Amino acid sequence: MKPHVLMVTPMMQHVTSALEDAYTVHRLFEACDRKAFLAEIAGSLTAAATMGRADAALMEALPNLKLISSFGVGYDGVDIEHARSRGIRVTNTPDVLNDDVANMAVMLLLTCSRRFVEWDRYLRAGRWEAEGDPPLARGIRGRTVGILGLGRIGKDIARKLEIFGCEIVYHGRSAQDDQPYRFYGSLTDMAAASDYLIAICPGGDATRGIVNKEVLDALGPDGTFINVARGSVHDEEALIAALQDGRLGAAGLDVYVQEPHVPAALIEMDNVVLQPHQGSATVETRKAMGDLVIGNLAAHFAGKPLLTPVV
Ligand code: NAP
Ligand code: 8YV
């Protein structure tokens, strides 16, 4: 008999197919009465797969749950402390996405500095022909990039931007002595010293709103804010106000406070470049992430060490 697996949210097709081949899959997201659905399968369930979401109530409803295999490196949507307290293991999908997420950060930075999207619109609107060349943009050689969160992806961003001739500095909870970049213990001080601020730290309560008015003002009217971390990391009202008032030069955003909702004020501004949370969204990277979700479940059922445990 196949082991049972709970699918909390819809998953990518290749993950769904692999899980259906190996397990009896229960789709929580299709249940009308979630409580009754969970009660019926609770006894037989030791493992769940999810697109980054699992709360304490779900864990409480499944007394035999031993593993949550989560898609995505960020696990701010999983109640990790509750899982820990219940002895439930949690896995994520790190490293395989570093390259593409870092590329997204670099693209947003270059797109803002060269006003790439703005000039595309300028041309399409017939303004090149009617009004001539647009104003000059800015180069990035020699400019300072402050990285909020010099982790796996942050280090990849740093290495890529060094090739463009940028000066890299970083902020986190502690200095990393093996890194060649200058560390700032204060995010505001780092923003004041930076032309670009890139957020690539985890979301969740510890980082909620840390890119606030003070930090954005320190970055200043010639500064650009790039967020490829989580929308919760920036104070969205403060960000919009800073951009509208000209206290902040530009922004390149992949993430928002209430996805998929994006405030109209951001959509209306020419100095803002927007992506619908596409950091890891390439065929190759999403396949590799899905393979880790599948691999962690297989390791759990084979009694082998988990591939990428968080807890
Ligand atoms: P990671 O290796 O764990 O790195 C996280 C970095 O953030 C570390 O350098 C850490 O340094 C710093 N950090 C942690 N807590 C902090 C705090 N309270 N204040 C300041 N800095 C803090 O994680 P990763 O694999 O690079 O991924 C980072 C995040 O990127 C994920 O959690 C996810 O939210 C986001 N992400 C977004 C996308 C997308 O599609 N846009 C894709 C992938 C990941 P210290 O420990 O020294 O503080
Ligand atoms: C995904 C991400 O878009 O890995 C993460 O933390 O934010 C992205 O890679 C997300 O996990 C898909 O739900």
Q: Is the CB of 234 under 6 A from ligand 1?
A: no
pLDDT of residue 67: 98
| Active-site residue set | 230, 259, 277
User: How many Å is the Cα radius of gyration of the chain?
Assistant: 22
- Whether residues 112 and 196 share a domain: the answer is yes
- Whether residues 198 and 69 share a domain: the answer is no
Work out whether the CA dihedral 63, 65, 66, 72 comes out positive or negative: negative
Number of domains in the chain: 2
Minimum-distance ligand 1 atom for the alpha carbon of 173:
48
Cα separation, 290 vs 93, in Å, equals: 8
- Whether residues 248 and 173 share a domain: the answer is yes
Q: The pTM is what?
A: 0.98
- Name the 3-class secondary structure at 44: helix
- Whether residues 218 and 131 share a domain: the answer is yes
Taking only the tens place, the pLDDT of each residue in 115-141 is 999 999 999 999 999 999 999 999 999
- Whether residues 212 and 264 share a domain: the answer is yes
Give domain status of residue 19, yes or no: yes
pLDDT of residue 53: 98
Q: Is residue 278 a contact partner of residue 2, using CB atoms and an 8 Å limit?
A: no
H or E element, residue 153: helix 152-163
Give domain status of residue 192, yes or no: yes
- Whether residues 152 and 246 share a domain: the answer is yes
What is the CA(247)–ligand 2 centre distance, in A?
31
Longest C-alpha distance within the chain, in Å?
Answer: 72
Q: Is the CB of 196 under 6 A from ligand 2?
A: no
Domain span at residue 159 reads 98-274
Q: Is the CB of 96 under 6 A from ligand 2?
A: no
Count of CB atoms situated within 10 Å of the CB of 266: 17
Minimum-distance ligand 1 atom for the alpha carbon of 153:
26
DSSP 52-93: S-B-HHHHHH-TT--EEEESSS--TTB-HHHHHHHT-EEE--
Q: Side chain identity at 246, as an amino acid letter?
A: G
Q: Which of 53, 68, 73 to mutate to test the pocket of ligand 2 (most atoms within 8 A of CB)?
A: 73
All residue ranges of the chain with pLDDT < 50 are none
pLDDT of residue 221: 98
Q: Is residue 5 a contact partner of residue 25, using CB atoms and an 8 Å limit?
A: yes
- Whether residues 255 and 106 share a domain: the answer is yes
Which residues have a Cβ under 8 Å from the Cβ of 204 and sit 6 or more positions away?
76, 230, 232
Minimum-distance ligand 1 atom for the alpha carbon of 174:
47
**Residue 239: which of 263, 259, 222 has the closest Cα?**
263
pLDDT of residue 138: 97
pLDDT of residue 285: 99
- Whether residues 47 and 134 share a domain: the answer is no
What is the CA(279)–ligand 2 centre distance, in A?
7
- Whether residues 90 and 176 share a domain: the answer is no
| Ligand minimally distant from the alpha carbon of residue 101 | 1
**Residue 90: which of 100, 105, 76 has the closest Cα?**
76
Which residues have a Cβ under 8 Å from the Cβ of 17 and sit 6 or more positions away?
none
Q: How many residues comprise the chain? A: 311
What is the CA(46)–ligand 1 centre distance, in A?
29
**Residue 48, domain CATH:** 3.40.50.720
Whether residue 305 has a cis bond before it, omega within 30° of 0: no
| Ligand minimally distant from the alpha carbon of residue 73 | 2
Q: Is the CB of 256 under 6 A from ligand 2?
A: no
Q: In what order do the strands lie in the sheet with 4-7?
A: 24-27, 4-7, 45-50, 67-70, 89-91
Residues 111, 150, 53, 257: what is their CA dihedral angle, to the nearest 10 degrees? -50
Cα separation, 191 vs 211, in Å, equals: 9
Q: Is the CB of 279 under 6 A from ligand 2?
A: yes
Taking only the tens place, the pLDDT of each residue in 39-79 is 999 999 999 999 999 999 999 999 999 999 999 999 999 99
- Whether residues 69 and 150 share a domain: the answer is no
Which protein residue's CA is at the shortest distance from atom 1 of ligand 2?
Answer: 72
Give domain status of residue 182, yes or no: yes
DSSP 162-203: HHTTPEEEEESSS--TT-SSEEES-HHHHHHH-SEEEE-S--
- Whether residues 82 and 221 share a domain: the answer is no
